[in-house]
Homo-oligomer: A and B are copies of this chain.
Amino acid sequence: MPDAPVTLSHVAREAGVSLATASRAINGSATRSVREDLRERVLETARRLGYSPDPSAQAMARGRTTALGLVVHDIADPYFSTIAAGVADAAEREGLIVTLASTQHRPDRELAFVELARRQRSRAIILAGSRLVPGEEVGTAPAGHDAALRDSLTAFRDAGGGVATVGQALGDLPVVEIDNAGGASALARALHDAGYRRFGVLAGPARLRTAADRTAGFRDALAALGCAAGDDDVVPGEFTRDGGYNAMSALLDRAGGPPEVVFAVNDVMAVGAMAAVRDAGLSVPGDVAVAGFDDIHTLRDVSPRLTTVRIPLDEIGALATRLALGRTGDDVAPVRGEVVLRDSTPLR
């Protein structure tokens, strides 16, 4: 099976028709149509010759590609890989090719990839992962990063490209808006109902909106219930297993003993936190109860089973894809979390 790239003109010649007819037969022009028998013949020889169109050539002729750019913070993180699975599936259904960028949490790479996708004339761009908290844009996040991203994506959109962000809105771009604050509030209330009164929070990275919103939602609800978590009970950390481990360790080392229950702002951190509790010779939930956020599928079976806020990550990818492609009426797709109480936070 040698590789003499069979082109449209091969097919046309072989089928005894013109290039134009072959083209119209194979992807059905909007304006012109082709006589049935010719169409048949072209399709048949195309199949026989193993023809398939060159995406680059089509892209150039049409002025737009068939690519869908997906930008995530870290594809190894189950949060993102689950979303990516949804995107990949929906994109395949739409006949689009997914180009993936895993930025490893470096905002500059986020922007660089968006620019790349733009000049590649991608069909659409999906930007997953938290935006930044205004004013906290330091270090790896150049000031104005999100603004630059917004401008670039807006220009892309004005030029006819599809855009969707996942998490929180960026400008007035289409968004799958996750109710992080609301979910965390609901969790706080549920834990309060379960009898907990002394709370700790593993707050994640302060500069990430997602982490900040979950933390704020949780603390606000607690305050409303009259048992606010003090600042000492809120420990920042990375959005990772180790971040959760370290933050929980810090909380345990604190004078005054551990809180009754600790809310880690995502499941991955929660699992790290549980490990820290055990390594300290304590037990979950005996000594400290633990709750997370996301309901990551592969983490659902940790022991004790983890209380969390379920986010339909698998659907979010498909939703974002539809949104980016303008398949939905609205430009905002709200997604709510659902509190799932499990063994890691028994009634108290």
Residues in A lying within 8 Å of B, measured CB to CB? 1-3, 5, 52-57, 59-60, 65, 67, 70, 74-78, 80-82, 84-85, 88-89, 92, 97-102, 104, 109, 115-116, 118-121, 151-152, 154-156, 158-159, 241, 268, 271-272, 274-275, 278, 296-304, 314
Contacts and interface: CB of A to CB of B under 8 A. Distances in A.
Contacts of A99: 67, 97-100
A101 B98 contact: yes
Given A56-B59, A271-B301, A298-B299, 15 more contacts: A1-B151, A1-B155, A3-B118, A5-B119, A52-B115, A52-B119, A67-B99, A75-B81, A76-B82, A76-B85, A78-B78, A81-B84, A88-B101, A97-B120, A271-B302
A104 B87 CA distance: 12
Contacts of A78: 76, 78, 81, 298
A59 B59 CA distance: 11
A315 B38 CA distance: 53
20 contacts: A1-B152, A3-B155, A52-B119, A54-B60, A54-B121, A56-B57, A56-B120, A57-B60, A75-B85, A75-B88, A76-B81, A77-B81, A78-B78, A81-B81, A98-B100, A241-B297, A268-B298, A272-B301, A275-B301, A303-B304
Closest 8 CB pairs of A and B: A3-B159, A81-B81, A76-B85, A56-B59, A88-B102, A275-B301, A52-B119, A100-B100
Contacts of A298: 78, 241, 268, 271, 296, 298-299
Nearest to A244: B301
A121 B302 contact: no
Nearest to A55: B120
Contacts of A158: 2-3
Given A76-B81, A100-B100, A120 B54 contact: yes
Contacts of A53: 119
Contacts of A115: 52
Contacts of A116: 52, 55, 97
A102 B89 contact: yes
| Chain B CB within 10 A, most for which of A60, A118, A120, A121 | A120
Contact of A303 (B154, B300, B302, B314): B302
A76 B99 CA distance: 16
B102 A56 contact: no
A143 B108 CA distance: 47
| Chain B CB within 10 A, most for which of A88, A115, A300 | A88
A272 B97 CA distance: 33
A98 B77 CA distance: 17
A80 B302 CA distance: 21
A76 B65 contact: no
A300 B275 CA distance: 9
Contact of A301 (B65, B274, B297): B274
Contacts of A59: 56
